[in-house]
């Protein structure tokens, strides 16, 4: 359901955010590729390899974000950060450093 809240906010107020991190968001299927392409906020999209339903369908949609980075965590389930917290924290740290470096 997080996609149903985050995407409308990004479309309307994305300029208020320096970036967004999503972990296997759902509710992303209701938006078009054009709507995603209009969002300029940097995004880190993380999903688990074993999240075949939600992770796969959401990722296909979220790949339309022009400033999005999509990362699959190997052997991880829907709450991917729980299965590989060290890798997730490294990804998060690097994403935040990239945002800082851009001065976004």
Segment 51-104, tens digit of pLDDT: 887 667 777 888 899 999 999 999 998 888 999 999 999 999 999 999 999 875
35 φ, ψ (degrees, to nearest 5): -65, -40
SS (H, E, C) 31-68: CCHHHHHCCCCCEEEEEECCCCCHHHHHHHHHCCCCCE
**Nearest CA among 29, 93, 95 for reference residue 7:** 29
What is the model's pLDDT at position 29?
Answer: 85
Q: How confident is residue 23, by pLDDT bands cut at 50, 70 and 90?
A: confident
Q: What is the pTM of this model?
A: 0.88
* Residue entry with tokens 């990004």: 10
Residue pair 92/36 in contact (Cβ under 8 Å)? The answer is no
Say yes or no to pLDDT of 47 above 80.
Answer: yes
């Amino acid at each position: 359901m997080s996609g149903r809240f985050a995407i409308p906010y990004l479309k309307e107020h994305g300029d208020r955010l320096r970036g967004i991190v999503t972990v296997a968001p759902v509710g992303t299927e209701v938006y078009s590729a054009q709507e995603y392409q209009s969002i300029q906020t940097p995004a880190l999209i993380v999903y688990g390899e074993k999240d075949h339903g939600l992770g796969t369908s959401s990722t296909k949609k979220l790949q339309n974000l022009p400033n999005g980075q999509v990362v699959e965590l190997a052997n991880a389930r829907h709450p991917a950060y729980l299965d590989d917290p060290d890798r997730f924290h490294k990804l998060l740290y690097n994403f935040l450093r990239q945002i800082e470096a851009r001065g976004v």
